[in-house]
Amino acid sequence: MSVTANDQPAIPVATSSKPTKVHCWSCGAMRAAHFCRQCGKVQPPAPVDYFVFFGLPYKLNLDTATLGREFYSLSRHLHPDINAISSPREQEWSLQQSSQLNDAYRTLKDPIARTEYLLRLLGVRLEEQSKSATEDARRTGSSKKQVVPADLLEQVFELNMQMEEARMNKKMGEPDRSLELELRDTRKHLQAKHDGMMQELQTAWNEWDALVDCAANGGNVLEDDRLAACDRMVDVLNRRKYLQNLLRDVEEVLE
């Protein structure tokens, strides 16, 4: 399992917020991050994560409208075209900063990518299954990748048989209209379940964000609570991924 105490880096529960303030290399003014608000010069890129880049706490509930405004505002100052008449060194910084800005924005504005990114920062390896799924796999001796979420077990069993039958029919050129309708119905049901997972993820986000707030207010965050919050997110993401794959399979059969 990925969420273990051993491979955890120091938890970014505490707000790191704005990157460290240093003097502008050009005019000596105290600069804002990324570019100087006095002389407008691009500053050397700092090796920071995407949350720090935007001066954000490590929270998952995020106002994407504000993030978007911040992105466009920074783009205007960091864009290589704007810094085209600068020295080669500044042009290089501008390129690097812009590229970091684009990556950070693309990742943070998307709810799934944002969650996966935070989990990766926390040392969680997402290609693995959640703790419970891994334990189930060990117990049953099945391959980890094929662990079926418990709430889908029965349905997946039947669905696999139906899909197998539909594939056979297709091969023989003997389509079964009622089977097809059943599969379409199942697809609708699975899609609704998939969409409903955003609500589950939201609940997990709230749980995590509460820990971040607690730490930011000087509270003591228990390691167990932290791991539990992570595991909940991993679990939702894994089940969502499983459903996505399943939907793709059904789609293929129905084509």
Question: What is the distance, to the nearest Å, from the Cα of residue 18 to the centroid of all Cα atoms in its chain?
Answer: 22
How many of the other CB atoms lie within 10 Å of CB of 28? Answer: 11
- Binding range to Zn ion, per CB under 5 A, among 20-28, 170-178, 207-215, 236-244: 20-28
The alpha carbon of 216 is separated from its chain's Cα centroid by a whole number of angstroms, namely 22
- Which residue in 7, 22, 23, 27 binds Zn ion (CB under 5 A)? 27
Tokens of 190: 């699975």
The least distance separating Zn ion from the CB of residue 104, rounded to whole angstroms, comes to: 23
In the bound complex, what is the minimum distance in angstroms from residue 76's beta carbon to Zn ion? Answer: 16
Q: Which stretch binds Zn ion (CB under 5 A): 18-26, 55-63, 168-176, 195-203?
A: 18-26
Based on the shown chain and the rule CB under 5 A, indicate whether residue 29 belongs to the binding site for Zn ion: yes
Contact letters (x/-) for Zn ion, 41-80, by CB under 5 A? x---------------------------------------
DSSP string, 43-110: PPP----HHHHTT--S-S---HHHHHHHHHHHHHHH-TTTTTTS-HHHHHHHHHHHHHHHHHHHHHHS
86 binds Zn ion (CB under 5 A): no
Query: What does the binding site for Zn ion look like in residue numbers (CB under 5 A)?
Result: 24, 26-27, 29, 36, 38-39, 41
